[in-house]
Every structure is written in structure tokens, then in C-alpha cells.
A and B are shown apart, each in its own frame.
Chain A
């Protein structure tokens, strides 16, 4: 198995992020996948981005400019 390294961006584990734990992942160059030391997540960049988009969905007002207080 290859040595785990940092990826180009420090992607956090999207599964851990769902429970609000910031856990940087390591990247396996041979397999082209990120993996988490804590929760057993593995996935390529597309999978990470897909789950990150899911994470953001909870912020329903993330694109709303609110001016009435």
C-alpha cells in the first residue's frame, strides 16, 4: 500500500463532517482515493464533492440575503 499523503486541497472527511468533526483525510495516489483515519470513509474527489454538497444542503438560507431584522 502507498504512503498516505495530503491531497492538493485538505479535504476533510465528508462523513465525519456530517457529524461536525473536522477530520483531514489522507490521499492514496495508487488508488486515486481519499481515506479517513477515523470513520473508514474512502472515495475519490467526485464522491467527496458530492457529499460536501449534501452537507451544505442543511443551510437552506445559505444563498439568501436577509435584511429584515
Chain B
């Protein structure tokens, strides 16, 4: 039976950043301003009532500031007793006079403190929580929590079983959207709940030894297409985010229901399981209005959203669960190797575009059907990179998990003037003509064979001057292997004697932002019947090709990753191509020439290099 779980989270945030900022216009900062605290509390109460009126239970994440507010504590206790809400803790909303007095810091992001301060704050927040409620919470969260922070929490407070741990694709795009003043560089994680690795919170754990001990939930359920190429805070299960993105007309927002329904449809790809979370801080429902919307519209959008979840629950199509209840359910039947898949379709721009998203302990990727199934995002989770963030660490604010391919940050198929962009695709050539599948829009379908997930693309027609071919791509993901099988099949041709070369390639780089990183030392190698050939990247445009290829490899020591391609074709050749400073990319590929119909079958593997 299909299961769609919904988690509603509210937090009594006494001094929400947006309301506080408005209140401060023309005045000095005052963390104890009673009008701000009272307004925030009123909004929290309204949010709770809206959920309860629709028959939904919530998780109340107590902020540190709210632990000093008797009214907020009383509401939480009452709602736990009356409605069965869960009382949890959050590291959002730290700032208040008590925090300022004790920690002498204006920092608002838990993940950006030094590890010493993180530990002190964890002890203070959870200690205070215990003092107020007489028990420790089992759920916590923030916009981001690095593995080092969670490891400490689990060591000291083992009862914590679930946390809001990232915002999906909230990275450079969010920074840019916020006039370069919002320091949430958190790209590269899963879009749906997962069990994180002890080594890096973004990566799903590989096994019991690697299990960090909590279930992680992303902050909100995002539009996987719009947010990949736009601000995260416009498109998700957060009605006021949608108002910010102005996806409405005449005060109606069908888009919210469309997102919820598309998430519900994920049961098709994930063995009957789907999930949604809604988490709106009080600052988003300011009485003075926000994002060109007055309070009435802010409230209406929230009530409409909650009413839809309530309606689904009433119809038996959704189950409302608190964070900790969800964690228990999630762990019941979740094998570590089981991937999360989604064939996402455009619900915003009217394009019919589809993108396939895939996450397992080895990798995260996205295939874009608008580009013939090109891989436009690839994150090497197999490397399980230890990348602590915060003050005193190498990466400081940059908490994103690095990519090897990110076609929006690093060009992809279309580049200006010269060079290559990061993308994995396939090129078909005949004589001096060549066509890349990136130029062949198509659609896809999803299926399963045992533990193999399969994405089958609709055939596309490729026209050469004298003849045309019909090509179909199939991607097969065998669970637990970290390897993807890719088949490019020439199904039909109008020139049965014409030779066509199929060139399966990956052009990659590495990084977490739009800006290039130093590729010096990346090792490109070929292994075949005639021996091996290898170079270390030095921006010298070196190229090599080898017939009878058995393995093509790129080792990227900067992200401790080995990327390899192999084929089962005896007559295939392999190649690598070094880039240059104006085209800081490396390319590895496998080619095969067929006459008439035929296919090239390759396997792409992502491994930890060290």
C-alpha cells in the first residue's frame, strides 16, 4: 500500500530575522523588543491552530530563545498533551539576550560556529531544554548541521534520532538571490529524507558502521527542477516561499498543490513511499506583510496549504507524523543501499521537461531529458569527504558537497566561444558530421527489474546529410554497485551501410560554486590491450586514444574520487582529453563504430580514490 508521510514543523522563534529587521528600521537593535516577541508568538499560535483545525499534528521545535518564554513553553506543553504534538529542539532562533550575554556572539547559524562553540551551544541549548521540560528532545535541526556537529550530539545525547539537516540546493543560488548576503552554501544533498554518513552529512550512509545515528530531513520539499536553476526560497512546500517567487495570480496558488501531488507521486519510484515536510518560521508571516503580500494573503496561503494536507489526511491519502515518529517509520524497512529516485516533471514553466534525480550511498545525479538524458549533476558520495564547516575550518561557510559535473555552474553543452562545459552525454558522428544527444529533447519512463532501477528514454532521430538514425538511451542502476550501465542503441537507420561512431563521454571538473578550481594533478589514464597511458593534468591540451580499451579513468585527488568508464565491446576505443586554462575541464570517453543498427554499452563507476 502506498504511504505518503507529512511532517509539519513550527518553531516559536522569538526574534525572527525578518520581523526584527523591519522593527529595527530607523531604530537601534533591541533583542528584547516586546512587540516583536509578541507578534512572533501570535504567529506561532496561529500556525499551530491552523494545523490543528485541519486535523494535523505538528512537531514544535523550541528555539533557545523560546525556552525563556513562559507562554511559548506553556503552549508547547498544552499542545503536546491535547493534540499529540512532539516537542523538539532547534538550533535556529538562537539569538536572544540570554544567548548574547552568554556567548558574546551575533552568529545565527549553528553550523558556522567553531567546533568548540558548537559543543558549548549544544550543551547549553539541550541542557536548558531538559531544565524546562524535564526530558531531552528526540528531534532537532537547523538549516544545516554538519556531520561533526551531529556526531557530537549523538555522542552526548543519544536519544536524538532525527534532525532537519540541510536545505536542498540552497547554495550559491540562494546567496545570489539574497543580494549576496545569505550564507547558506549547502548544495549537494538529497531532496528527501536519508540516513547520513558519519563522515559527511550530505552522503547517505553505506552501512551500519557508517550510519551517523539519525534520520536526516531536508528543510522543505523543493521543486527539483525550478530550484536546481533558481532560488530555493521561491519554490517548495512553503507557501510564503511561493509568494516570494510570485507564483500566483489573484491570490490563488495551485502550484502548492501541484508540488505536493508531485511528491505524492514519488511512490512510483520508491516502493510505495513518499514524503513531504512543511516548515514555516514566524518571520515569514509578519503582520506588516512580506514579499509584496499583505498579512491576509500570507495567512490565506498558509491556511490553504495546511487545508490541502488536512484534506489528504481525511481522504486517507496522507499520514501526519511528527519528526520522531517518521524517523522510526523510515528506519523500519530502509536498506542502506536503497536509492531514492524521482522522475520530476516541470509544473511551472509549461515545458513538458523531465529530469531524473537519483541518490544512493555512492552518488547523486540528475539526467535532463531536455538534453537527451545528459547527466547535468554528479556528486561523488562514495568519496565520503570529511569537510567540517564553520570558523576554524578550511571551508568555513562552504558546506556544499562537491560536484564532478554541474552543468549550470560549469556551462554544460553550451559554451561561449571556446572550450567545453561539464556534462556527461553521447555524440554520434559520421564523416565530418556530429550530433550530440544534448541537442535531442526527449521524454523518459521509469521501471524496475528486481533491484535494478531503469530509466528508458524515448527514441530520438538524428539526421545526417545522407541518412538518419533512431537512437534510444537506457540507464540502468543496479542497487549496491555504485555503477551505472548506459546503453546507446541505434534502433533504426535509413542508411544500413553507413558507419556511425558512438562516443560516450564525460566532461568533468570539480567544485562547489560557479568558479573554476585548480585541476593540476588530476590523473587521466587509459588501460587496454596495448598497455596503459596516463598523464597528470597541467592544462596542456594533451589527448590520447587507445583501441581495445578496458578502462578509462579520471582520478581527482582534490575530491578523493576515481571516475571510471568501461565497456563490454571488444572493438571499442577509449580516450582522454586534457583541457586548458580557458576550458578547465577533463574529458574521458569510449567510442565504437557501428554499421547500420548496433549499440554501445558502457558502465560509469564512482569510487573513493584513496
Q: Which residues of A are at the interface with B, using a C-beta cutoff of 8 A? A: 5-6, 9-12, 16-17, 20-23, 38, 52, 55-56, 58-67, 69
Selected contact of A10 from candidates B234, B257, B291, CB within 8 Å: B291
B265 contacts the other chain (Cβ, under 8 Å)?
Answer: yes
B293: chain A residues within 8 A (beta carbon) = 9
Once bound together, how far apart are the Cα atoms of A9 and B272, in whole Å? Answer: 44
Known: A6-B25, A21-B179, A23-B179. A61 touches B231 (CB 8 A): no
User: Chain B 235-254, CB within 8 Å of chain A: the 1/0 string?
Assistant: 00000000010111100101
A49 and chain B: residue at smallest CB distance: B292
Q: Do B348 and A61 have beta carbons less than 8 Å apart?
A: yes
A12: chain B residues within 8 A (beta carbon) = 291-292
B346 and chain A: residue at smallest CB distance: A61
Q: Do A60 and B261 have beta carbons less than 8 Å apart?
A: no
B396 contacts the other chain (Cβ, under 8 Å)?
Answer: no
B516 contacts the other chain (Cβ, under 8 Å)?
Answer: no
B290 and chain A: residue at smallest CB distance: A10
Known: A56-B249, A62-B249. A69 touches B262 (CB 8 A): yes
A61 and chain B: residue at smallest CB distance: B350
Shortest Cβ distance from A25 into chain B, in angstroms? Answer: 11
29 pairs, A vs B, C-beta closer than 8 Å: A5-B26, A6-B22, A6-B25, A10-B289, A12-B292, A20-B231, A21-B176, A22-B178, A22-B231, A22-B244, A56-B248, A59-B246, A59-B247, A59-B348, A60-B348, A60-B349, A61-B255, A61-B258, A61-B350, A62-B254, A63-B249, A66-B254, A66-B261, A66-B347, A67-B261, A69-B262, A69-B264, A69-B265, A69-B345
B289: chain A residues within 8 A (beta carbon) = 9-10
Shortest Cβ distance from A22 into chain B, in angstroms? Answer: 6
Counting from the closest, the 9 A-B pairs by CB-CB distance are A60-B350, A69-B265, A65-B254, A66-B258, A61-B350, A56-B246, A63-B249, A62-B247, A66-B347
Q: Do A20 and B230 have beta carbons less than 8 Å apart?
A: yes
Once bound together, how far apart are the Cα atoms of A16 and B231, in whole Å? Answer: 13
Q: Do A9 and B294 have beta carbons less than 8 Å apart?
A: yes
Selected contact of A65 from candidates B246, B248, B257, B264, CB within 8 Å: B257
Given A22-B244, A60-B350, 15 other A-B residues pairs in contact with their CB atoms under 8 A: A5-B26, A9-B289, A12-B291, A22-B178, A22-B179, A22-B231, A55-B246, A56-B248, A60-B349, A61-B258, A61-B350, A64-B350, A67-B261, A69-B261, A69-B268
Q: Do B349 and A58 have beta carbons less than 8 Å apart?
A: yes
Selected contact of B292 from candidates A11, A63, A64, CB within 8 Å: A11
B593 contacts the other chain (Cβ, under 8 Å)?
Answer: no
Once bound together, how far apart are the Cα atoms of A9 and B22, in whole Å? Answer: 11
B501 contacts the other chain (Cβ, under 8 Å)?
Answer: no
Shortest Cβ distance from B274 into chain A, in angstroms? Answer: 11
Once bound together, how far apart are the Cα atoms of A10 and B349, in whole Å? Answer: 26
B264 and chain A: residue at smallest CB distance: A69
Q: Do B261 and A63 have beta carbons less than 8 Å apart?
A: no
B25: chain A residues within 8 A (beta carbon) = 5-6
Shortest Cβ distance from B147 into chain A, in angstroms? Answer: 31
Q: Do B257 and A38 have beta carbons less than 8 Å apart?
A: no
B151 contacts the other chain (Cβ, under 8 Å)?
Answer: no
A16: chain B residues within 8 A (beta carbon) = 179
Shortest Cβ distance from A11 into chain B, in angstroms? Answer: 6
Once bound together, how far apart are the Cα atoms of A55 and B290, in whole Å? Answer: 18
Shortest Cβ distance from A43 into chain B, in angstroms? Answer: 14
In the complex, which of the residues B173, B252, B254, B294 has the most CB atoms of chain A within 10 Å of its own CB atom? B254
A64: chain B residues within 8 A (beta carbon) = 254, 258, 350
Q: Do B177 and A21 have beta carbons less than 8 Å apart?
A: yes
